[in-house]
Amino acid sequence: MNEKVSPEVRKKIEDFIADWMTENKVPGMSVSIVDGDEIIYSKGFGARDLKNNTPATSDTLYGMASVTKSFTGLAILKLVERGDLRLEDLASDYVPIEWENDVTIHDLLTHSSGMPSLGVSEALIDRLIEMEERGLPLSDLDDFYIHLNSAKEEIAAEPGEEFFYFNSGYALLGQIIEEVSGKTYPDFVNDEIFDPLNMERSRFDYDEEEGDIMTPYFMGEDGPEKTPYPLREIGHPGGGLLSSVNELANYLMMNMNEGEFKGKQVIEQELLEKAHETHVKRETGDYGYGWAVKDFEGEKFIGHSGSIAVSGGFIGFVDDLGVAVAANTIPGSSFEEVAKWIIKTVKGEDGDEITYFKRKKRMDKLTGTYESYRGIKKMEIEQETTLLKLTVKERLESQKVILIPEDKEVDNYKFYYYDGNGEKNSVRFDVKDDGDIDLYIGRWRLHKKD
User: Percentage of the chain surpassing pLDDT 90?
Assistant: 82
* Bridge partners, 321 (sequence order): 35, 318
| Contact by Cβ (8 Å): 306, 316 | no
Separation between Cα atoms, residue 214 and residue 50, nearest integer Å: 10
Separation between Cα atoms, residue 339 and residue 344, nearest integer Å: 9
Q: What is the pLDDT of residue 124?
A: 84
Mutual angle of helices 141-149 and 167-181, in 10-degree steps: 130
What are 315-366's pLDDT values in tens digits? 999 999 999 999 999 997 799 999 999 999 999 999 988 988 999 899 999 9
Q: Cα 32 to chain center, whole Å?
A: 16
Q: Cα 416 to chain center, whole Å?
A: 29
Q: What is the pLDDT of residue 316?
A: 98
CA angle 224, 228, 230 (to 5 degrees): 110
Which sequence spans correspond to the domains of the chain? 7-349, 360-448
Separation between Cα atoms, residue 285 and residue 132, nearest integer Å: 32
* Bridge partners, 46 (sequence order): 28
Query: Phi and psi (nearest 5°) for 373?
Result: -55, 125
| Contact by Cβ (8 Å): 14, 323 | no
Query: Phi and psi (nearest 5°) for 307?
Result: -140, 125
Confidence of residue 26 (pLDDT cuts 50, 70, 90): very high
The class (CATH top level) of 7-349 is: alpha beta
Q: Which of 12, 60, 55, 77 is nearest to 289 (CA)?
A: 77
What are 230-241's pLDDT values in tens digits? 988 888 999 999
Segment (H or E) for 430: strand 424-431
More confident residue, 384 or 373: 373
Q: Is the pLDDT of residue 370 over 90?
A: yes
What are 177-212's pLDDT values in tens digits? 999 999 999 999 999 999 999 999 999 999 988 889
Confidence of residue 1 (pLDDT cuts 50, 70, 90): very low
The hierarchical CATH code for the domain 360-448 is: 2.40.128.210
The identity of residue 4, as a single letter, is K
What are 385-441's pLDDT values in tens digits? 789 999 997 877 788 999 999 998 999 999 999 998 999 999 999 999 999 999 999
Confidence of residue 381 (pLDDT cuts 50, 70, 90): very high
What are 263-317's pLDDT values in tens digits? 999 999 999 999 999 999 998 889 999 999 999 999 999 999 999 999 999 999 9
Give Cα separations from 228 to 100, 125, 310, 416 (angstroms): 38, 10, 8, 42
pTM of the model: 0.91
